Amino acid sequence: MILERLIQRVELRVFDLGRRFWGDDPYRELSEQAEELSEALRRQHATLTRCQEAAEELRTRLASKEKQAVRLAARVQTYLHVGDRANAWQCALELDQVRHSLHEERPQLRRHLLACRYHQAQMTHLQRSLASIQEKLYLLRQGPQRRIPVHS
C-alpha cells in the first residue's frame, strides 16, 4: 500500500515536470478527453444494450403471462359452466398465481424502461460532449487561417 502511494507520487511529479518542461499541449489534452469520452460512450452503449435486452425479455414474458391469464380465466368459466368445480378451483389457483406474478413484474418493466431512457440520455450527453471536443480538435488542426478578402 505504501509502495503504491510512493509510486503514484513519483509518477505525478514526473508528469508535472514533463508538463512544465514541454508546456501544455491543448491538442493532446483534447485528444485524451476525446478518447476518454469515446470509451465512456462504448461502455454506456453496452449498458444500454443490456438494459434494452432485459426490458424486451421482460416484455415478452409479460405478454406470455397475460395470454396465459386470459386462457386460464376462460377455462375457469368453462369448468364452472359444466359444473366441474375441482378443475375450476385448480385453474383459479393457477390464474391467481399468474396474476400475482404479473402484478409484481409490471413495475419491473417500468423500472427497466426508465433505466433505458436514462442510459439513452447519458449516451446523448456523451455524444454531444464528444462532438464538441472533436470540433475543437478540428479547429486546432486547421490552425490560424488567414482570410483573403474577396473583391467583386
Q: Write out the chain's pLDDT in tens, 152 residues.
A: 677 776 777 776 766 655 555 556 777 888 888 999 999 999 999 999 999 999 999 999 999 999 999 999 999 999 999 999 999 999 999 999 999 999 999 999 999 999 999 999 999 999 999 999 988 888 888 866 544 444 44
- Pick the closest to residue 44 from 36, 33, 54 (CA basis): 36
Q: What is the pLDDT of residue 24?
A: 61
Q: What is the pLDDT of residue 19?
A: 56
Please, which contacts does 64-72 make with residues 24 or more away whose CB atoms are closer than 8 Å? 65/98, 65/101, 65/102, 65/105, 66/102, 68/98, 69/95, 69/98, 69/99, 69/102, 72/98
Count the alpha carbons within 13 Å of 119 in the hemisphere toward its beta carbon.
20
**Cell numbers linked to 102:** 404479473
Q: What is the pLDDT of residue 146?
A: 43
- Pick the closest to residue 114 from 35, 31, 40, 58 (CA basis): 58
Q: What is the pLDDT of residue 130?
A: 92
Please, which contacts does 121-125 make with residues 24 or more away whose CB atoms are closer than 8 Å? 122/44, 123/41, 123/44, 123/45, 123/48
pTM above threshold 0.75: no
Q: What is the pLDDT of residue 17?
A: 58
Q: Select 28-138's CATH number: 1.20.120, 2.60.40, 1.10.287, 1.10.8.
A: 1.10.287
Any idea where the domains of the chain sit in the sequence?
28-138
Cβ-in-10-Å burial (0-12, 13-18, 19+) of 116 comes to buried
